[in-house]
Amino acid sequence: MTKPTSYAPRHPRARTLTRMNDALQPYVTAIDHVGVAVADLDAAIASYRDNFGLEATHIEVNEEQGVREAMLHPRGDETGTAVQLLAPLTPDSTIGKFLDTKGPGLQQLAYRVTDVEETSAALRANGLRLLYPEAKRGTAGSRVNFVHPKDAGGVLVELVEPAQ
């Protein structure tokens, strides 16, 4: 049996993810949350509570992002990774369009970062496209930006700098 000489990724998307990992290494501190697009926020909160024991620890309307959203945690413990439920405020919002084309389901993966602007600059320097020229307001006063899915292996990646 021959031993492989290298475990270097051979697929173009794998190379993109490897470059992204190198660029994010000094900045990413945790997986912050996974975002799930839903049509009815209240029904989804009840379903996640009744079926998985997750509790809504934060609910808000974010007009700028066009969503009503909830952060859910096991046993209400806000220190770990959350599930974020996102319901559209209007059919033409980003989440409304997502639901229209793809239906309900996983919409994003969010990394918690120490500095969203520095992380964005490092990613841009590495050739990745971000959706906003500057960070925008996210959940609970956080600052966010997004890496284009075509530059992140087909995944919409959110960068989250929590509010201080």
Burial of 11 (0-12, 13-18, 19+ CB in 10 A): exposed
List the strands of the sheet with 54-62, edge to edge.
54-62, 67-74, 82-88, 28-37, 105-113, 157-161, 143-147, 136-137
Residue 17: pLDDT band with limits 50, 70, 90 = low
Local structure of residue 96 (DSSP, 8 states): H
Q: Identify the pLDDT of residue 136.
A: 96
Amino acid letter, residue 118 = E
Specify the pTM.
0.81
Task: Report the candidate in 119, 128, 61, 129 with the shortest Cα–Cα distance to residue 95.
Answer: 61
Of the listed ranges 25-34, 50-59, 137-146, 154-163, the one predicted with least confidence: 25-34
The answer, yes or no, to whether residue 11 has pLDDT greater than 80, is: no
The residue among 61, 108, 70 whose CA lies nearest residue 89 is 61
CB atoms within 10 A of CB 93: 17
- Comparing 35-39, 79-83, 84-88, the range with the smallest average pLDDT is 79-83
Per cent of the chain over pLDDT 90 is: 78
Q: What are the chain's domains?
A: 28-161 (3.10.180.10)
Nearest to 35 by CA among 156, 161, 162: 156
Rounded percentage of the chain residues whose pLDDT exceeds 70:
84
What are the backbone angles phi and psi of residue 60, rounded to the nearest 5°?
Answer: -155, 165
